[in-house]
Amino acid sequence: MRREIGCVVAPEDDGRLVKRVVRARLGVSHRQFTSLKQKNAVLLDGAPVHADVTVRAGQRVSVLLDEDETGGAPASDGPVNVVYEDEDILVVDKEAPLACMSGLDQPGDSLEGRLTGRYGAGYVFRPVNRLDKGTSGLMAVAKHAHAQQLMQRALHTDAYVREYAALVEGRVEPAAGVIDAPIGKADGATVRREVRPDGKSAVTRYETVASGGGYTLLRVRLETGRTHQIRVHLASRGWPITGDFLYGREDARLPGRFALHSAKLALAHPVTGERMTFESAPPIVFYEMMGSGSI
């Protein structure tokens, strides 16, 4: 499958080399441009050109993107809740418990397997932001390597906003704040993380949305993307996420999952630049556990 992306040469780019325009205006990396050049996939007004050709205002520069890799995940026929889809990206509302990736440590059902079932053998899964198996909600998936590269550049910036709904045990004081504490792997652990001085910088913002029944519902925004960041930061303050078997305790009302939901994504489309916002309401069980069945 090939995808062509391009732009019309602006007056300020008149006289520049095609390689400069492609790199600057289409966001193509040096490595990717080299690969495209070798495939004759750099075009000027629809015809392959040399990298050092001079462009004129009003001409169209474009590149042909090949999906020349092959996927390996076994297909499954499980449902996928697609919130948005076009030629470049896919936004899905993942259920929980459901793993994102297939692998030796995750041989069963996964979002990757379900998307392989949707798109066919050879599908390449390109998640931009990943969610733990026990976390539900919104995540973006790129349809080709170029889109994934551009979106991951923006992932930990203000251009890519990720907000979560987290139901935690206990009363949260102060009701809103910032947790700025480094996170690293716990000694002797393979998965578990902890706040530790030699960890990597991690910043999480939170604010209280509602409370009741011994629980507090928080709106949480990530500024960094460390493994288990929200789970570790909230637990370190004495507010473990409800049902979190690793950093708190399991809850039979949340079978196979914990009370963390990716509720909002705001991002710039990697090709068009359009600002896009997606929202997903937290599962009703979050409110039922607080003693309220309504949102």
Torsional sign, CA 22, 24, 27, 32: positive
3-state DSSP assignment of residue 113: helix
Q: Which of 293, 136, 95 is nearest to 212 (CA)?
A: 293
Q: Catalytic pick from 13, 88, 93, 132?
A: 132
- C-alpha to C-alpha distance for 6 and 45, rounded to whole angstroms: 10
Q: What is the CA radius of gyration of the chain?
A: 22
Task: Specify whether 244 is catalytic.
Answer: no
Angstrom distance (rounded) from CA 185 to CA 200: 10
Spatial CB neighbours of 86, under 8 Å, sequence gap ≥ 6: none
Helix axes 30-38, 145-154, angle to 10 degrees: 170
Nearest to 102, CA basis, from 76, 139, 140 = 76
Q: How far is CA 261 from the centre of its chain?
A: 13
> Cis bond leading into 174, ω under 30°?
yes
Show which residues are catalytic: 132
